[in-house]
Chains A and B, each alone.
Chain A
């Protein structure tokens, strides 16, 4: 497992994009701070109530988009910040309480061993998929194959927001898709820059809150449309 030595002198930044998460944001961020020495950067993507009010008293950095641009744009703002801050490893983590902070060591492991440049969390390996709602499962599997047809990369999961990058990946990943199509754009960039990638099993919790906030079938069509435009105008 992660020994204190292996991450010693390494700067780890966790990016948490958020938009109107309310008190759930604090519940998502607090467990992160108990994990290991890391810097949490919250990117408030134009929430009505500034997210900074939700995380008072926590040692975090908050960047605020004055207007709502989308999760992809928020992540890229965080990535730019992490580059400037000279981070060694960057983790992306959802603010809606779906991800488990305890998955962080497993996510970092392949990077520390230099086996991959980018590690993607998957809810569908090692039986972590039991609680995924059936409809959601269907959409995600369709998305896997759509991503495969665009990139030639077939993953076991799609649109899972928990990922880890090393410096090499951090330099190459520049997201231009402001909304949810950024998840596929990451795969385009993996392919384009020949980044080494690896999937590790992670837990995704389907709380009632996350189900309400999560994306339904309609957003899948929007993502597909954004992807087509991305390919057309790149």
Chain B
């Protein structure tokens, strides 16, 4: 076993530990994670399997195949995140909007000399 294999295995183990402590009751996520981790371990310990797979798909090297798949996954993840952000933004907007609509400030021509309620009126300390 060489250095890079040790490094990658350590990384994978850390990710597994991290997720398992946080995903206690989410079965599907655990199953998916386990599948991914098993693939990773196989590819790390027997790198030549990726070469065989790559040759099967018409890609030169196994490492290249992994990069291509990673890019696709990355794109997909970014799109999902954008979707999530937009949904959160809509929710947030609705809250801010409701708050704005609940407190309309009706000004009038006569209010010019009245201090606004948000305006801080300096306290007169001279008295």
Q: Tell me whether A178 and B89 are in contact (CB under 8 A).
A: yes
CB contact under 8 A between A229 and B86, given known A52-B116, A56-B111, A60-B107: yes
Q: Is the interface of B mostly helix, strand, loop or mixed?
A: helix
CB of A55 within 8 A of CB of B107, answer yes
Does chain A have a CB within 8 A of B108? yes
- Given A53-B119, A233-B83, decide whether A77 and B107 contact each other with a Cβ distance below 8 A: no
The residue of chain B having its C-beta at the shortest distance from the C-beta of A175 within the complex is B93
Q: Is the CB of A65 within 8 A of B96?
A: yes
Q: Does B103 contact A (CB under 8 A)?
A: yes
- Asked if A52 meets B109 with Cβ closer than 8 Å, knowing A65-B97, A69-B93, A69-B96, the reply is no
Collect the chain A residues with CB atoms within 8 Å of residue B21's CB: none
Q: How far is the CA of A58 from the CA of B116 in the complex (A)?
A: 13
| Contact between chains at A66 and B99 (CB < 8 Å) | yes
Among B104, B109, B118, the residue within 8 A (CB) of A59 is: B109
B95 to nearest A CB, angstroms?
9
Q: How far is the CB of A115 from chain B (nearest CB, A)?
A: 32
Cross-chain contact A56 with B107 (CB below 8 angstroms): yes
Q: Chain B contact residues (Cβ within 8 angstroms of A): what range?
A: 20 to 34
Shortest Cβ gap from B119 to chain A (Å): 7
Contact yes or no, B112 A43, CB < 8 A: no
Whole-angstrom CA separation of A39 from B89 in the bound complex: 30
- Report whether B107 and A65 are in contact in the complex, using a CB–CB cutoff of 8 Å: no
Secondary structure dominating the interface of A: mixed
With the chains together, A84 CA to B83 CA distance in Å?
A: 30
When distances are taken between beta carbons in the complex, the residues of chain B under 8 Å from A81 are 101, 104
User: Is A73's CB under 8 angstroms from B97's CB?
Assistant: yes
Q: Restricting to B77-97, which residues have a CB under 8 Å from any CB of A?
A: 79, 82-83, 86, 89-90, 92-93, 96-97
Q: How far is the CA of A55 from the CA of B92 in the complex (A)?
A: 27
Shortest Cβ distance from A63 into B: residue: B100
Alpha-carbon distance between A50 and B116 when the two chains are bound, in angstroms: 11
**Whose C-beta in chain B lies nearest to the C-beta of A233?**
B83
**B105: CB under 8 A from chain A?**
yes
The yes or no answer to A67 lying at the interface (CB within 8 A) is: yes
Q: How far is the CB of A73 from chain B (nearest CB, A)?
A: 5
Residues of B near A232 (CB, < 8 A) are 79
A224 to chain B, nearest CB (A): 15
B2 within 8 A of A: no
Knowing A59-B109, A61-B107, say if A50 contacts B118 (CB, 8 Å): yes
Q: Which of A62, A66, A176 contacts B90 (CB 8 A)?
A: A176
Chain A residues with CB under 8 A of B112 = 56-57
**B118 near A61 (CB under 8 angstroms)?**
no
Does chain B have a CB within 8 A of A207? Answer: no
**Smallest CB-CB A-B distances: 8 pairs:** A57-B112, A62-B105, A63-B100, A77-B97, A65-B96, A59-B109, A73-B93, A61-B104
